[in-house]
Amino acid sequence: MKNDEKDRLLRNAMEEHGDYLKRLIYTYVKDVQKAEDILQDTFVKFYTRFEQFEKRSSVKTYLYRIAVNEAQNYLRSWSFRKVEFADRLRTFKQGSSAEDQYIKSEGNRTLGELVKELPVKYREVIWLYYYDELTVNEISEILACSPNTVKTRLSRGRKLARISIEEGDYEY
Amino acid sequence: MSIKHELEKSLPKSLHFTSAEKEAVFERIHKRKKRRFQVFPALAGVLVLIMVAVLIVPELTSNRTAQDMTIEKLVVPDTPYPSLINAIYVDETSELIFPEETGLYSYSESTGKEQLVSLPGTAYNFAATEKWLIWSDPAEGGAVLNVMNRSNQQVTTVEGRYFADLSIKENTLVYQSGGEGFYVMDLNNQEVELLHETIGGSHSKSALKGNQIVIPEENDGVTKIFIYDIQTMERVNEIELPFEIVEYVQWSGEFIYSQGRNEDELPVLLQAQSQTGEVQEIQTPEFDEFAADGNRIALSVAASESDTVMLYELDELKVRPLNTLDHIEERLTRPRFTEEGTLVLNSEGPDFAMYILEP
pLDDT at A132 over 90: yes
Domain ranges in chain A? 1-96, 98-172
**Model pTM?**
0.58
Any B CB within 8 A of A163 CB: no
Query: What average pLDDT does range B272-299 have in this prediction?
Result: 93
CB B153 within 8 A of CB B116: no
Strands B268-273 and B279-282 come out as antiparallel
> Which candidate in A51, A78, A96 is best for mutational testing of the B interface (most B CBs within 10 A)?
A78
Cβ–Cβ below 8 Å for B202 and A113: no
The Cα-based distances of A157 to A105, A121, B3, B96, B330 in angstroms read 16, 9, 13, 32, 35
Give residue B36's pLDDT band: very low, low, confident or very high (50, 70, 90): very low
- Given the cut 0.90, state whether the ipTM is greater than it: no
pLDDT at B32 over 70: no
Q: How far apart are the CA of A49 and the nearest CA of chain B, in angstroms? A: 5
Any A CB within 8 A of B55 CB: no
Cβ–Cβ below 8 Å for B2 and A170: yes
Cβ–Cβ below 8 Å for B3 and A44: no
Report percent pLDDT > 70 for chain B. Answer: 88
Report percent pLDDT > 90 for chain A. Answer: 26
Cβ–Cβ below 8 Å for B25 and A10: yes
Q: What is the pLDDT of residues B150-177, one digit of tens each?
A: 999 999 999 988 899 999 999 999 999 8
Closest in A14, A79, A85 to B17, CB measured:
A14
Q: How far apart are the CA of B219 and the nearest CA of chain A, in angstroms? A: 14
Any A CB within 8 A of B56 CB: no
**How far is A87 from A104, CA to CA, in rounded Å?**
18
**How far is B131 from B149, CA to CA, in rounded Å?**
6
Write down the H helix ranges in chain A. 3-29, 32-48, 50-53, 59-76, 78-94, 98-106, 111-116, 120-126, 136-143, 147-160, 162-165
Q: What is the pLDDT of residues B79-137, one digit of tens each?
A: 988 899 999 999 999 999 999 989 999 999 889 999 999 998 888 899 999 999 999 98
B-facing residues of A in 58-97 (CB < 8 A) are 72, 76, 78-79, 81-82, 85-86, 88-89, 92, 97
- To the question of domain A1-96 being in CATH 3.30.390.50, the answer is no
Select A98-172's CATH number: 1.10.10.1100, 3.30.300.10, 1.10.10.10, 3.30.930.10. Answer: 1.10.10.10
CB B319 within 8 A of CB B342: no
Residue/partner pairs of B163-167 with CB below 8 Å, 24 or more apart: B163/B125, B163/B136, B164/A81, B164/A85, B164/B125, B164/B136, B165/B125, B165/B205, B165/B206, B166/B125, B166/B126, B166/B127, B166/B134, B166/B135, B166/B136, B167/B127, B167/B206, B167/B207, B167/B208, B167/B213
Closest in B3, B24, B80 to A170, CB measured:
B3
Closest in A43, A145, A172 to B3, CB measured:
A172
- Which residues of chain A have a CB within 8 Å of the CB of B202? 78, 82
Any B CB within 8 A of A7 CB: yes
**How far is B354 from B344, CA to CA, in rounded Å?**
7
Please name the amino acid found at residue B45: G
**How far is B335 from B355, CA to CA, in rounded Å?**
10
Q: How far apart are the CA of A171 and the nearest CA of chain B, in angstroms? A: 5
B40 vs A39, higher pLDDT: A39
Per-residue pLDDT at B174: 97
B291 vs A80, higher pLDDT: B291
